[in-house]
Amino acid sequence: MSDKPDLDPFGFARTWMGQWEKLVNEHGTEWLAKPEAAQAMQAMSSAAIQAKAVSNEASGKLLAAANLPSRADVEALGMRIAGVEASLARIEAMLRTQMPDAAAPARPAVRRTRKPPE
Amino acid sequence: MATAFVDSAQSAVERAIQRNLKGLGYLASPAPVLGSSAKDVIVNRGPMRLYHYHPLTEEVYRVPVLLVMATTNRGYIFDMVPGQSLVEFLLLRGYDVFMLDWEAPRAEDRGLALKDYVEDFVGSAITEVQRSTGEQDVSLVGYCMGGVLSMLWAGLNHAAGPKNLAVFTTPVDFQQMTLFKSWSDPRYFDVDKLVDTLGMAPADMLLTAFDMLRPAGRASANFALLDNLWNEDFVKGHRMFDRWSNDMLPLAGEYFRETTKQLVWDNRLKEGTMKIGGRPVELDRISAPFLHVTAEHDHIVTTAASAPLIELVGSDDKEQVVLKGGHVSLIAGPNAVKRMWPKLDNWLGAKSV
């Protein structure tokens, strides 16, 4: 046993916290694994999804009334931009194949001959 | 006794002062810069990012390494800061390193399915690595769900196969992930409604689910930070890991729907009935040398969920190792530097010539 008295003000809290953490993790996960917990969690998340759906619909109507693009319009625009990006990527890839030196940054070439240490 | 009392009091006062000073410093200082190893972004398409890290040696192994990150988190866990970066470690050991990383899918990416992630993203990353290096052989190294994607690709393409296949903490028996299984119970969890309404699995929902695997984890981590504010290394590590673990990505809706139904509900990977794009995933026909590293104290992918993988893989040269650590400390931080990284290097080096 150490003859050094423990004057660290966090000492007691540390011990208490360790025990609390163990207890909460053990019992918490035990409870969370129960079907009732899953049911309660899903009821909450289902309500949140429902609220989100209602809010999406309402904001869609508001935007339409204000003659502003809806989420669907912006998504459609996004898809068209993605199409343009994909075309650009294909063009870039073709250019890299045809002009590898122009596309690659100037770095010394490495030799692929390394062997593992004995 | 009097001297011991004075020493102890002095030490307690010093720590209290340090806690206060460093606590102020912590609040005032900017977040650490993570993922800073020099790299080129060679593919930037949808949620897919493919990086090629600049080699740090003049001579590299013939076979390049492609790291495949989990789809829920950012790849900088592999490249935290100098001295605590798996990428840097591999570069210094003479590997040519690439990483398949992810960005948050956008609204128009909601339709991306498992097939897109496996055949398109993993598949095109491998093709790009081959093109970039001029080598047909590629070593595939996946983490968690990145490991699952790597396994799915290898199970579909066993003839072409990766040269070497290493995965970390990769779940295969999803029925053994008891909490996730319970929370996604089809009697209560309407995945179709979630995906059809939101288009995505939101990042905050995923973060809450991961947090609930250890309900006291966050409070306990914050207390540990307060307790260790005097310790610069601890604070630095806490900031890095806290930032990473909170930096979660949403998942594309269709991908989340298929993952839930096929992997969690039907447990198809374990049952051997998994198909991607109509083609069977045949883990038993994988012949590449295979390494699976799991963590002894993994509370996310438990040993029961990951251990059966080794039996399902057909390779003759296969090895499963359980190392000390948790789901994250296995791959990053001081524990990983000592244990997993040298293990990976020892296993991969001889197979990369």
A66 CA: distance to closest CA in chain B (Å)? 23
Whether residue B95 contacts residue A112, with contact meaning beta carbons closer than 8 Å, is answered with: no
Percent of chain A clearing pLDDT 90 (strictly above)? 5
Nearest to A28 among B44, B190, B216 (CB): B216
Q: Show which of residues 16-45 on chain A sit within 8 Å of chain B, judged by CB atoms.
A: 17, 20-21, 24-25, 28-29, 32-35, 37-39, 41-43, 45
| Residue A1 pLDDT | 46
Sheet of B164-168, strands arranged across: B39-45, B48-53, B97-102, B65-68, B139-143, B164-168, B290-295, B318-323
Residues of chain B in contact with residue A17, where contact means CB-CB under 8 angstroms, are 220, 223
pLDDT in tens, A73-100: 887 787 788 778 777 877 877 777 677 6
8 Å CB contact of A114 and B197: no
Residues of chain A in contact with residue B197, where contact means CB-CB under 8 angstroms, are 49-50, 52-53, 56
A5 CA: distance to closest CA in chain B (Å)? 6
Question: Does the pLDDT value for residue A103 go beyond 80?
Answer: no
B94 and chain A: CB distance < 8 Å anywhere? Answer: yes
| Residue A106 pLDDT | 61
> In sequence order, what are the beta bridge partners of B343?
none
| Residue B172 pLDDT | 96
B58 CA: distance to closest CA in chain A (Å)? 5
Distance CA A19, CA A16 (A): 5
Q: Where are the domains of chain A?
A: 10-67, 70-98
Distance CA B177, CA B327 (A): 13
Distance CA B275, CA B282 (A): 9
| Tally of helices (H runs) and strands (E runs) in chain A | 4, 0
More confident residue, B120 or A101: B120
Nearest to B4 among A5, A24, A25 (CB): A5
User: Could you tell me which chain A residue has the CA closest to the CA of B210?
Assistant: A29
B313 CA: distance to closest CA in chain A (Å)? 26
Residues of chain A in contact with residue B226, where contact means CB-CB under 8 angstroms, are 10
- Helix residue ranges, H only, B51-122: 86-92, 114-115
A82: burial class by Cβ within 10 Å (0-12, 13-18, 19+)?
A: middle
HSE (side-chain half, CA atoms, 13 Å) at B340: 33
Backbone angles phi, psi at B222, to 5 degrees: -70, -35
Distance CA A60, CA A68 (A): 9
Question: Does the pLDDT value for residue A112 go beyond 70?
Answer: yes
B55 CA: distance to closest CA in chain A (Å)? 8
| Residue A107 pLDDT | 67
pLDDT 10s digit of each residue in chain B, 353 long?
567 767 766 776 676 666 666 666 666 666 677 888 999 999 989 999 999 999 999 999 999 999 999 999 999 999 988 888 999 999 999 999 999 999 999 888 999 999 999 999 999 999 999 999 999 999 999 999 999 999 999 999 998 889 999 999 999 999 999 888 888 999 989 999 999 988 999 998 899 888 888 888 888 888 888 888 888 888 888 888 888 888 899 999 999 999 999 999 999 999 999 999 999 999 999 999 999 999 999 999 999 999 999 999 999 999 999 999 999 999 998 889 999 999 999 999 999 99
* Full-model pTM: 0.84
| Residue A60 pLDDT | 81
| Residue B261 pLDDT | 97
Residue B12, helix vs strand vs coil: helix
Question: If DSSP states are collapsed to H, E and C, what string results for chain B?
Answer: CHHHHHHHHHHHHHHHHHHHHHHHHHHHCCCCCCCCCCEEEEEEECCEEEEEECCCCCECCCCCEEEECCCCECHHHHECCCCCEHHHHHHHCCCCEEEEEECCCCHHHCCCCHHHHHHHHHHHHHHHHHHHHCCCCCEEEEECHHHHHHHHHHHHCCCCCCCEEEEECCCCCHHHCHHHHHHCCCCCCCHHHHHHHHCEECHHHHHHHHHHCCCCHHHHHHHHHHHCCCCHHHHHHHHHHHHHHHCECCEEHHHHHHHHHHHHHCCHHHHCCCEECCEECCHHHCCCCEEEEEECCCCCCCHHHHCCHHHHCCCCCEEEEEECCCCCCCCCCHHHHHCHHHHHHHHHHCCCC
User: Could you tell me which chain B residue has the CA closest to the CA of A31?
Assistant: B179
Give the distance, in angstroms, between the CA of residue B186 and the centroid of all CA atoms in the same chain: 27
User: Could you tell me which chain A residue has the CA closest to the CA of B107?
Assistant: A75
| Residue B268 pLDDT | 97
Least confident span in A32-41, A65-74, B86-95: A65-74
Torsion angle defined by CA atoms of residues B58, B125, B35 and B211, in that order, rounded to the nearest 10 degrees: -140
| Residue A58 pLDDT | 85
Give the distance, in angstroms, between the CA of residue B118 and the centroid of all CA atoms in the same chain: 16
Question: Does the pLDDT value for residue A53 go beyond 60?
Answer: yes
8 Å CB contact of A89 and B43: yes
Whether residue B155 contacts residue B281, with contact meaning beta carbons closer than 8 Å, is answered with: yes
Nearest to B216 among A8, A25, A43 (CB): A25
User: Could you tell me which chain B residue has the CA closest to the CA of A101?
Assistant: B132
User: Could you tell me which chain B residue has the CA closest to the CA of A76?
Assistant: B108
Task: Read off the amino acid at residue B183.
Answer: W
Distance CA A44, CA A27 (A): 21
Residue B292, helix vs strand vs coil: strand
| Residue A67 pLDDT | 86
Q: Show which of residues 75-114 on chain A sit within 8 Å of chain B, judged by CB atoms.
A: 75, 78-79, 82, 85-86, 89, 97, 105, 107-108, 110-114
Q: Which residues 6+ apart lie within 8 Å of B104 measured at CB?
A: B47, B203, B249, B250
Task: Read off the amino acid at residue A76.
Answer: A
The ipTM assigned to this model is 0.76
Question: Does the pLDDT value for residue A111 go beyond 80?
Answer: yes
Residues found in chain A: 118
Residue B101, helix vs strand vs coil: strand
| Residue B95 pLDDT | 97
CATH topology (fold) of B35-178+268-349: Rossmann fold (3.40.50)
Residues of chain B in contact with residue A34, where contact means CB-CB under 8 angstroms, are 182
Whether residue B314 contacts residue B283, with contact meaning beta carbons closer than 8 Å, is answered with: yes
| Residue A102 pLDDT | 58
Residue (of A54, A55, A79, A59) closest to A69 by Cα position: A59
